Amino acid sequence: MKLRLASLAVATVLLTGCASSPVRFYTLGAPAIAQNANPLNAATPTVSIDRIALPDYLDTQDMYLRDGNQIIRSPNGRWASRLSQGATDFLAARLGQAWPHAFVTDQPQAGTADERLTVNISRLDVSHNGQAALDADWTIIPKDEKRPVLHNRASFSANGTVATDSDNARLTQNLLDQLSRQIAASTPAP
């Protein structure tokens, strides 16, 4: 009898483990953002975007919410790639749309780009109460050493529900979209 109860208890524990929610993966910019199809030629200016720098605790596939000084990891939500890579891809796509006559890329190139963009996100918080904030600085480094290096920084905020990981992804995308628009607006088109 005791063996039967022990077996039943073990089976219940095993089945409960199988019933947990599945892990869900999220991307930024879904549906896929298509870059323009302007033809490229030797005179097309190239803008190379370095991988965005993020605080170490954020640069993972884990999704987080902030609650005061506590960082709470989502039990089931994950980014499809490291957040720095996903954010860089998103920024490259958005700036490619903003600068249709340039070749904007975050991929390695054989030659030196006409301009290089570096972005440092020092704060990217989505809080449990739906307030989100992003602080960033960026630098445009021209290939032509006679042109000035441009530095800029800004802070962005957004509000919304964070009842689901999808909501968290949407707020994060909103902040990165604001950042991309500010970079495009504050930088002369290549």
**Confidence grade of residue 152 (pLDDT, cut at 50, 70, 90):** very high
Report whether the peptide linkage leading into residue 31 is cis, meaning its omega lies within 30 degrees of zero: yes
What pLDDT was estimated at residue 9?
Answer: 57
Contact 171, 77 (CB under 8 A): no
Identify the helix (H) or strand (E) that includes residue 142: strand 131-142
Over its C-alpha atoms, the chain yields an Rg (Å, rounded) of 21
* Ordered structural domains, the chain, with CATH: 2-186 (3.40.50.10610)
For the stretch 134-148, pLDDT in tens is 999 999 999 999 999
Bridge partners (DSSP) of residue 172 are none
What pLDDT was estimated at residue 13?
Answer: 54
For the stretch 34-69, pLDDT in tens is 555 677 888 899 999 999 999 999 999 999 999 999
Structure tokens at 171: 């707020």
pTM: 0.86
Identify the helix (H) or strand (E) that includes residue 26: strand 24-26
Distance, CA of 168 to CA of 165 (rounded, Å): 5
Please give the average per-residue pLDDT across 72-90, as a whole number.
Answer: 97
